[in-house]
């Protein structure tokens, strides 16, 4: 079966393509990208002008909550949310119940993903058994079952020694270690960024240094071991400095930033809704100088990836006193509008750079298929509508949880459609019927 | 807004707080603060009568919902409510019942089903009152939320200062103690700066909140600087468990560096007022000689607490009656949104 996507602006930074091209899909794979390709027996799909065809977006940091926390999210609801957000693949964190520290859990997640037949799911295994920070998990077994990286996300790897071992051992399989960077003693029982707003609201603070210490540790140990180290959900300006310094001397460090950390600041703790638990996440929303450092890192290339840290929580869990609420917000369906609005339309970066951040780089870091429209790659394609007027409505999210601070926001740019293995799995109803 | 409705607003502002709740001092205008303090003067007179009761809140139900232990504040609210003829009940809920599983929202909604008019809330979580105000139709009065605010304490402090000094503008007020964990500090900073006082805050750097200068106060860790020429010295309680967080080495050392002694008092103005929100740790933040000495107004603060709380209850009840229709709608809307 052949499909020919014609008339769209194709942006494929891996192949240096940015222009109006046709994309020929054959048997679920990219056959060719070029100008005026022959139609032959292909079904033609006219892409309206103004839309952008790019390699499928990959979110390398999501919490799908299954097994064990299905009231928040399931693999099925999570991948439905993913494709509605333009993501053709997600990598899911191991802090499920039980923890994904063995092949049984990995295989269960993969089976649920196969059943859902939407976005690809790449499980990420635990560094340590039960993520307890004592013994290494069976990493070869995890790798064989399908895990693409390891992390004890939710918490940092307990000791420098265990982190060193994890880097050395996982390095053997070419798996990066992804770290939730945080010094637990400095974080303490903090619930918000340590700054003026937390002080004013009487919320216990978490200083940026708590994160940066973890980043520094990881960079040093990556240098020591020569293995790949990836900083999850980076938020503090001192962390950015540590990554930049590491890259400057050739350390194999990469990092990701979440849309909420390049969009919001700790001012959101107090307004428009004081103590809104949807402004509570870890790492916390930081002050303007930190947010600006995230933007600067995105512009200058220090930041490799935009990842959402999609963290669904049931409304019962969030409808409590601020300090009792769990950390985290959903992000899969708001990432593209926030990125287009805040990064591209603001003039900070251009579209090819955004595609690199959302597709090319995560594919490279996790060593998974996709990230380009090279012939032979799976036909995982996201069609962006950069000028679509989007209004975020929490109640309309596909995710099982609605915990977002962006409810009611109006943004410029969205997702038109999502194609996986050549099959259209999502069309934005806002685009009007029959457009795609 | 037209001129006529502005005039109308100003007229109403004389007799009622145009708000549903008292969540903190941060939200109050200087005019509203003055209104509460003026009203408290009239209320204080009620307490000097042989029959200490007025019918202002007759038929109103007030629930004192205390999730943290409190003697002074709870008693003060109860007496204030009774003097205004409200039907009152006090519920002290240990944190254990939270562990049993009922959320704060459910507890409050269950109480609300019995149609109280006001809920006086004391809770260990900062923002608990803001949270309840979004869930509840009743007026919420903050009796202390976590490390955030304790507005009636700041109001009674201001009332006590005003009684002696006539006005707050231009006074040097030194606040010394555990600034970081203190809701009394935050409410007092808002109130004192709104009314024009020169506020100095003092404590070890480990107990000073981030960016405290942005609140419009002068921080120092030299207690002599803070108290020099001060008109008012306010001591804040040092919690004994703070040593475990390594905020300072020992109570003895705290007293040595920051304790309010008779010698340090000599640096202040000759008519200085010594205040403490209680409960005091004698020999830690304050020497007994100072607490019991001639400059201490600590018991006046407690006495004035009743009058100030009567004023708050009275003004909010007037506000509720006046604005019932409008606030009812707003409250239902916010519940739907939640």
DSSP string, A357-399: IIIIHHHHHHT-S-SS--TTSB--EEEEEEEEEEE--GGG-SS
For chain A, which residues lie within 8 Å of any Cβ of chain B, measuring from their own Cβ? Answer: 194-196, 198-205, 273-275, 316, 319-324
What are the tens digits of pLDDT across the range B210-269? Answer: 999 999 999 999 999 999 999 999 999 998 777 778 899 999 999 999 999 999 999 999
pLDDT tens for A7-53 read 999 999 999 999 999 999 999 999 999 999 999 899 999 999 899 99
Cβ distance A320 to B338 less than 8 Å, yes or no, reads: no
- Which of A265, A318, A321 is the best substitution to test chain B (most B C-beta atoms within 10 A)? A321
DSSP per-residue string spanning B239-270: PGGGGGGTSSS-HHHHHHHH-B-HHHHTTS-T
pLDDT at A399 > cutoff 70: yes
What is the percentage of chain B residues whose pLDDT exceeds 70?
87
pLDDT of residue B1: 39
Per-residue pLDDT tens digits for A309-350: 999 999 999 999 999 999 999 999 999 999 999 999 999 999
Across the interface, whether the CB atoms of A196 and B103 are under 8 A apart is answered no
pLDDT of residue B4 exceeding 50: no
Q: What three-state secondary structure class fits B187?
A: helix
User: What is the rounded average pLDDT for all residues in chain A?
Assistant: 97
Given a cut of 50, is residue B3 above it in pLDDT? no
Stretch A143-170: mean pLDDT = 97
Q: pTM for the whole thing?
A: 0.92
Whole-number Cα distances in Å, A378 to A356, A381, A419, A425? 17, 9, 10, 14
Q: What is the mean pLDDT of residues A261-290?
A: 98
pLDDT at residue B318 in the model: 80
Q: Give B173→chain A minimum CA distance, Å.
A: 20
Contact B125 A324 (CB under 8 A): yes
Contacts of residue B222, defined as CB under 8 A and 6 or more positions apart, other chains included, come to B202
Cross-chain residue pair B147–A202, CB shorter than 8 Å: yes
Q: Which of A194, A273, A319 sits opposite B105 (nearest CB)?
A: A319
Kindly tell me the burial class for residue A28, based on how many C-beta atoms sit within 10 Å of its own C-beta (0-12, 13-18, 19 or more): middle
Tell whether the model's pLDDT for residue A67 goes beyond 90.
yes
Q: State the nearest Cα–Cα gap between B183 and chain A, in angstroms.
A: 7
Interface predicted TM-score (ipTM) of this complex, two decimals: 0.91
Instruction: Write out the H or E segment, with its range, that includes residue A26.
Output: strand A17-26
In the predicted model, is pLDDT for residue A389 greater than 70? Answer: yes
C-alpha distances (whole Å) from A90 to each of A123, A358, A384, A427, B13 are 8, 11, 18, 19, 56
Mutate to test the interface with B, among A193, A201, A314, A408 (most CBs of B within 10 A): A201
Minimum-distance CB partner of A199 among B123, B183, B210: B210
Query: Can A266 be counted among the known catalytic residues?
Result: no
What's the whole-number average pLDDT of chain B?
A: 89
Q: What is the mean pLDDT of residues A108-135?
A: 98
Q: Tell me what pLDDT residue A435 has.
A: 56
* The two structure tokens encoding residue B323: 């604005």
């Amino acid at each position: 079966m052949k499909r020919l996507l014609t008339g769209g602006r194709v942006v494929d930074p891996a192949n240096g393509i940015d222009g109006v091209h046709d994309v020929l899909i054959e048997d679920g794979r990219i056959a060719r990208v070029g100008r005026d390709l022959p139609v032959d027996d292909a079904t033609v799909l006219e892409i309206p002008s103004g839309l952008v065809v790019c390699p499928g977006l990959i979110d390398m940091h999501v919490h799908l909550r299954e097994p064990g926390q299905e009231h928040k999210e399931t693999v099925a609801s999570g991948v439905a949310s993913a494709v509605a957000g333009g993501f053709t693949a997600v990598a899911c964190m191991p802090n499920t119940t039980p923890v994904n520290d063995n092949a049984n859990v990995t295989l269960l997640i993969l089976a649920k993903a196969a059943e859902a037949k939407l976005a690809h799911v790449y499980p990420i295994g635990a560094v340590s058994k039960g993520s307890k920070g004592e013994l290494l998990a069976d990493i070869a077994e995890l790798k064989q079952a399908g895990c693409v990286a390891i992390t004890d996300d939710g918490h940092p790897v307990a000791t420098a020694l265990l982190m060193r071992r994890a880097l050395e051992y996982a390095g053997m399989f070419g798996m990066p270690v992804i770290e939730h960077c945080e010094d637990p003693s400095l974080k303490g029982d903090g619930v918000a960024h340590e700054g003026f707003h937390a002080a004013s609201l009487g919320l216990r603070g978490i200083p940026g240094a708590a994160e940066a210490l973890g980043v520094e540790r990881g960079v040093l140990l990556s240098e020591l071991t020569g293995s790949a180290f990836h900083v999850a959900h980076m938020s503090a300006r001192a962390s950015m400095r540590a990554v930049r310094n590491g890259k400057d001397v050739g350390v194999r460090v990469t990092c990701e930033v979440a849309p909420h950390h390049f969009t919001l600041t700790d001012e959101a703790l107090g307004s428009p809704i004081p103590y809104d638990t949807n402004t509570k996440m870890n790492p916390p929303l930081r002050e303007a100088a930190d947010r600006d450092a995230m933007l600067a890192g995105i512009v200058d290339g220090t930041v490799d990836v935009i990842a959402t840290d999609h963290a669904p929580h049931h409304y019962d869990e969030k409808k409590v006193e601020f300090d009792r609420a769990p950390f985290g917000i959903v992000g899969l369906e708001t990432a593209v509008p926030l990125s287009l609005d805040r990064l591209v339309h603001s003039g900070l970066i251009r579209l090819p750079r955004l595609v690199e951040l959302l597709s090319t780089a995560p594919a490279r870091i996790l060593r998974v298929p996709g990230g380009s429209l090279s012939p032979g790659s799976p036909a995982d394609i996201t069609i962006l509508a950069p000028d679509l007027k989007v209004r975020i409505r929490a109640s309309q999210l596909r995710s099982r949880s609605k915990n977002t601070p962006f409810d009611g926001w109006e943004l410029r740019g969205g997702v038109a459609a999502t194609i996986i293995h050549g099959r259209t799995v999502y069309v934005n109803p806002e685009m009007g019927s029959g457009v795609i | 807004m037209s001129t006529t409705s502005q005039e109308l607003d100003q007229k109403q502002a004389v007799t009622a707080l145009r708000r549903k709740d008292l969540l903190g001092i941060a939200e109050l205008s200087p005019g509203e603060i003055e209104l509460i303090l003026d009203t408290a003067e009239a209320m204080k007179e009620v307490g000097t009568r042989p029959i200490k009761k007025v019918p202002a809140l007759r038929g109103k139900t007030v629930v004192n919902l205390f999730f943290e232990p409190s003697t002074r504040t709870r008693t003060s609210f109860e007496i204030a409510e009774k003097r205004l003829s409200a039907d009152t009940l006090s519920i002290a809920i240990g944190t254990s019942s939270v562990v049993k599983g009922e959320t704060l929202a459910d507890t409050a909604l269950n109480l609300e089903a019995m149609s109280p008019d006001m809920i006086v809330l004391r809770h260990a979580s900062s923002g608990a009152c803001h949270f309840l105000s979004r869930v509840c139709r009743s007026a919420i009065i903050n009796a202390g939320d976590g490390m955030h605010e304790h507005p009636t304490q700041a109001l009674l402090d201001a009332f006590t200062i005003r009684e002696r000094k006539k006005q707050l503008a231009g006074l040097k007020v030194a606040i010394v103690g555990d600034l970081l964990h203190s809701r009394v500090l935050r409410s007092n900073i808002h109130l004192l700066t709104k009314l024009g006082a020169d506020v100095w805050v003092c404590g070890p750097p480990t107990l000073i909140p981030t960016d405290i200068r942005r609140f419009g106060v002068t921080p120092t860790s030299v207690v002599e600087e803070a108290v020099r020429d001060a008109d008012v010295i306010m001591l804040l309680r040092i919690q004994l468990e703070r040593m475990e967080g390594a905020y300072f080495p020992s109570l003895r050392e705290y007293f040595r560096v920051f304790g309010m002694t008779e010698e340090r008092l000599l640096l202040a103005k000759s008519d200085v007022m010594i205040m403490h929100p209680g409960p005091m740790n004698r020999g830690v933040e304050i020497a007994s000689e100072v607490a019991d000495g001639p400059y201490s107004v600590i018991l006046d603060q407690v006495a004035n607490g009743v009058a100030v709380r009567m004023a708050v209850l009275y003004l909010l009840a007037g506000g509720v009656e006046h604005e019932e229709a409008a606030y009812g709608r707003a409250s239902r809307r916010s519940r739907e949104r939640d």
